[in-house]
Amino acid sequence: MQVKDLGEFPLIDRIKKRIRTTPALVKGIGDDCAVLKFTKDKYQLFTCDMLVSGVDFNPDEDPQLIGRKALAVSLSDIAACSGLPRHCLVSLGIPPKYPVAKIDAIYRGIIKLAGEYKVNIAGGDLSRAPSFFIDLSLIGEVEKDRLTLRTGAKPRDVIFVTGSLGGSLKGKHLKFTPRIKEARLLSRNFKVNSMIDISDGLSQDLGHILKASSVGATIYEGLIPQSPDCRSLKGALSDGEDFELLFTLSLAEANRLFSRRISGVTPIGFTTPAGSGLKLVRKNGRTETLKTFSGYTHF
Amino acid sequence: MQVKDLGEFPLIDRIKKRIRTTPALVKGIGDDCAVLKFTKDKYQLFTCDMLVSGVDFNPDEDPQLIGRKALAVSLSDIAACSGLPRHCLVSLGIPPKYPVAKIDAIYRGIIKLAGEYKVNIAGGDLSRAPSFFIDLSLIGEVEKDRLTLRTGAKPRDVIFVTGSLGGSLKGKHLKFTPRIKEARLLSRNFKVNSMIDISDGLSQDLGHILKASSVGATIYEGLIPQSPDCRSLKGALSDGEDFELLFTLSLAEANRLFSRRISGVTPIGFTTPAGSGLKLVRKNGRTETLKTFSGYTHF
Buried b / exposed e across A24-40, counting CB within 10 Å, b at 16+? Answer: ebbbbbbbbbbbbebee
DSSP conformational letter for A161: E
Considering only the beta carbons, identify the residue of A3, A12, A89 that sits closest to B137. Answer: A89
Please indicate if any CB of chain A lies within 8 Å of the CB of B169: no
Greatest Cα-to-Cα distance within chain B, rounded to the nearest angstrom: 59
Looking at residue A299, what is its pLDDT? 73
Looking at residue A293, what is its pLDDT? 60
At B36-89, the pLDDT tens digits run 999 999 999 999 999 999 999 999 999 999 999 999 999 999 999 999 999 999
Query: Per DSSP, what are the bridge partners of residue A127?
Result: A93
Please indicate if any CB of chain A lies within 8 Å of the CB of B18: yes
Report the residue of A9, A17, A137 to disrupt the B interface, i.e. the one with the largest count of B CBs within 10 Å.
A137
- For the domain A149-290, what is the CATH code? 3.90.650.10
Please indicate if any CB of chain A lies within 8 Å of the CB of B13: no
Q: How confident is the model at residue B231 (pLDDT cuts 50, 70, 90)?
A: confident
Q: How many residue pairs from chains A and B have C-beta atoms closer than 8 A?
A: 236
Please indicate if any CB of chain B lies within 8 Å of the CB of A24: yes
Asked if B48 lies within 8 A of A14 by C-beta distance, the reply is: no
Looking at residue B293, what is its pLDDT? 60
Alpha carbons A93 and A130: distance in angstroms, whole number: 8
Domain residue spans of chain A = 3-145, 149-290
Looking at residue A291, what is its pLDDT? 83
Residue B275 CB neighbours (<10 A): 8
Alpha carbons A292 and A210: distance in angstroms, whole number: 9
Q: How confident is the model at residue B299 (pLDDT cuts 50, 70, 90)?
A: confident
Classify domain B15-145 at the CATH topology level.
60s Ribosomal Protein L30; Chain: A; (3.30.1330)
Asked if B50 lies within 8 A of A91 by C-beta distance, the reply is: yes
Cα four-point dihedral sign A245, B92, B67, A121:
negative
Looking at residue B237, what is its pLDDT? 95
Mean pLDDT within B92-101: 96
Alpha carbons A242 and A167: distance in angstroms, whole number: 8
Residue among A33, A126, A140, A127 at smallest CA distance from B44: A140
Superfamily holding A3-145:
PurM-like, N-terminal domain (3.30.1330.10)
At B4-46, the pLDDT tens digits run 999 988 999 999 999 999 999 999 999 999 999 999 999 999 9
Question: Does the structure show a pLDDT above 70 at B294?
Answer: no
Q: From first to last of the 299 residues of chain A, give the pLDDT tens digit.
A: 999 999 988 999 999 999 999 999 999 999 999 999 999 999 999 999 999 999 999 999 999 999 999 999 999 999 999 999 999 999 999 999 999 999 999 999 999 999 999 999 999 999 999 999 999 999 999 999 999 999 999 999 999 999 999 999 899 999 999 999 999 999 999 999 999 999 999 999 999 999 999 999 999 999 999 999 997 999 999 999 999 999 999 999 999 999 998 899 999 999 999 999 999 999 999 999 998 765 667 77
B-proximal residues of A, 43-62, CB under 8 Å: 46-52, 54-56
Which helix (H) or strand (E) segment holds residue A51: the answer is strand A42-52
The pTM of this model reads 0.96
Asked if B121 lies within 8 A of A29 by C-beta distance, the reply is: yes
Considering only the beta carbons, identify the residue of B89, B93, B111 that sits closest to A133. Answer: B93
Asked if A128 lies within 8 A of B48 by C-beta distance, the reply is: no
Classify domain B148-290 at the CATH topology level.
Phosphoribosyl-aminoimidazole Synthetase; Chain A, domain 2 (3.90.650)
Please indicate if any CB of chain B lies within 8 Å of the CB of A93: yes
Question: Does the structure show a pLDDT above 80 at B287?
Answer: yes
Looking at residue B183, what is its pLDDT? 98
Which residues of A are less than 8 Å from B86 in CB distance? 24, 36
Looking at residue B296, what is its pLDDT? 66
What is the crossing angle of helices A100-116 and A63-80, to 10°? 30
CB-facing half-sphere around the CA of A285: CA atoms within 13 A: 0
Q: How confident is the model at residue B291 (pLDDT cuts 50, 70, 90)?
A: confident
Query: Per DSSP, what are the bridge partners of residue A160?
Result: A247, A267
